[in-house]
């Protein structure tokens, strides 16, 4: 069977899988960004308890493997009365894992906004919330966007693990095709190329565009 025959027979499976992977990526990214912003800010809170909660979350999710977290959320959490459907468990695990890495980026970026900006906002009598929201966060956004690009690629790669709890993503479909056709190079090779295209020709250009757009908005370009 030529490669083109192989593709035409299996294209629907690859496309379905790619769509699920894209959905997992978008949902996990949304969760990761929300968690990263919340816990990144919590890490800078004056209250030790709030700081502590964020630290525990970040250290647990950065200190263990995504696969361990995924299995724990999917197999162990139901014992505590929280049963997540596999699709949900998948993007929740990926989002929580990458959110912990993102939190450190958020924290680092906020701390690297020049001291004078904080002082100026204070001198203008801004409330702490307003100072953070209007002055510090927009500037830290420019600083943290480049590493976020890498993190989103890590996140896309992370979603491949959800296939291990039988979410029918690209990786899962590749395994299924491999099992029925025994054409491993074609099945896994095609999936590798699709992941590469998503990372290199969708996520990376999008992040570059976002970097330019935010820099322009802040009058830095």
Q: State the minimum distance, in angstroms, from the CB of residue 192 to other proteins.
A: 5
**Binding of residue 210 to other proteins (CB under 8 A):** no
The backbone torsions φ and ψ at residue 46, rounded to the nearest 5 degrees and listed phi first, read -70, -25
Of 146, 126, 165, nearest in space to 206 by CA:
146
**Binding of residue 100 to other proteins (CB under 8 A):** no
Rounded to a whole number of angstroms, the CA Rg of the chain reads 21
**Which one, 48 or 79, has the nearer CB to other proteins?**
79
For residue 139, the Cα-to-chain-centroid distance in whole angstroms is: 21
The dihedral of CA 89, 207, 42, 112: what is its sign? positive
* Spatial distance between the Cα atoms of 64 and 74, rounded to a whole number of angstroms: 16
Q: Considering only 27-35, 45-53, 104-112, 154-162, which stretch makes contact with other proteins by CB under 8 A? A: 154-162
**Binding of residue 56 to other proteins (CB under 8 A):** no
Q: Considering only 33-41, 71-79, 105-113, 121-129, which stretch makes contact with other proteins by CB under 8 A? A: 71-79
**Which one, 133 or 196, has the nearer CB to other proteins?**
196
The backbone torsions φ and ψ at residue 33, rounded to the nearest 5 degrees and listed phi first, read -65, -45
For residue 122, the Cα-to-chain-centroid distance in whole angstroms is: 34
**Which one, 73 or 132, has the nearer CB to other proteins?**
73
Helix orientation angle between 3-42 and 48-63, rounded to the nearest 10 degrees:
160
Provide CB contacts within 8 A for 177, sequence distance 6+: 10, 13, 14, 183, 187
**Which one, 78 or 128, has the nearer CB to other proteins?**
78
Q: Which of 35, 153, 165, 167 touches other proteins (CB under 8 A)?
A: 153
**Binding of residue 4 to other proteins (CB under 8 A):** no
**Binding of residue 26 to other proteins (CB under 8 A):** no
The dihedral of CA 109, 114, 117, 118: what is its sign? positive
Give the x-and-dash track for 167-206 against other proteins (CB under 8 A). Answer: ----x--xx--x---xxxx--xx-xx--xx--xx------
**Binding of residue 160 to other proteins (CB under 8 A):** yes
Residues lying near other proteins in the complex (CB under 8 A) are found at 59-60, 63-69, 71-72, 75-76, 79-81, 153, 156-161, 163-164, 171, 174-175, 178, 182-185, 188-189, 191-192, 195-196, 199-200
């Amino acid at each position: 069977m030529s490669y083109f025959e192989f593709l035409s027979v299996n294209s629907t499976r690859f496309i379905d899988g790619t769509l699920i992977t894209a959905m997992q990526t978008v949902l996990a990214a949304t969760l990761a960004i929300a968690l990263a912003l919340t816990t990144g800010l919590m890490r800078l809170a004056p209250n030790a308890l709030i700081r502590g909660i964020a630290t525990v979350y970040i250290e647990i999710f950065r200190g263990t493997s995504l696969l361990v977290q995924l299995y724990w959320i999917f197999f162990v959490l139901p014992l505590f009365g929280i049963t997540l459907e596999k699709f949900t468990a998948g993007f929740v695990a990926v989002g929580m894992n990458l959110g912990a890495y993102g939190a450190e980026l958020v924290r680092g970026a906020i701390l690297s906004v020049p001291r004078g900006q904080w002082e100026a906002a204070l001198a203008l009598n801004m409330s702490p919330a307003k100072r953070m929201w209007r002055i510090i966060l927009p500037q830290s956004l420019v600083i943290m966007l480049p590493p976020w690009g890498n993190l989103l690629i890590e996140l896309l790669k992370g979603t491949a693990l959800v296939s291990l709890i039988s979410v029918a993503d690209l990786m899962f479909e590749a395994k299924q095709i491999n099992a029925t056709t025994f054409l491993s190079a074609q099945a896994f090779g095609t999936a590798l190329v699709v992941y590469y295209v998503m990372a290199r020709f969708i996520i990376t250009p999008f992040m570059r565009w976002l970097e330019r757009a935010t820099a322009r908005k802040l009058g830095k370009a």
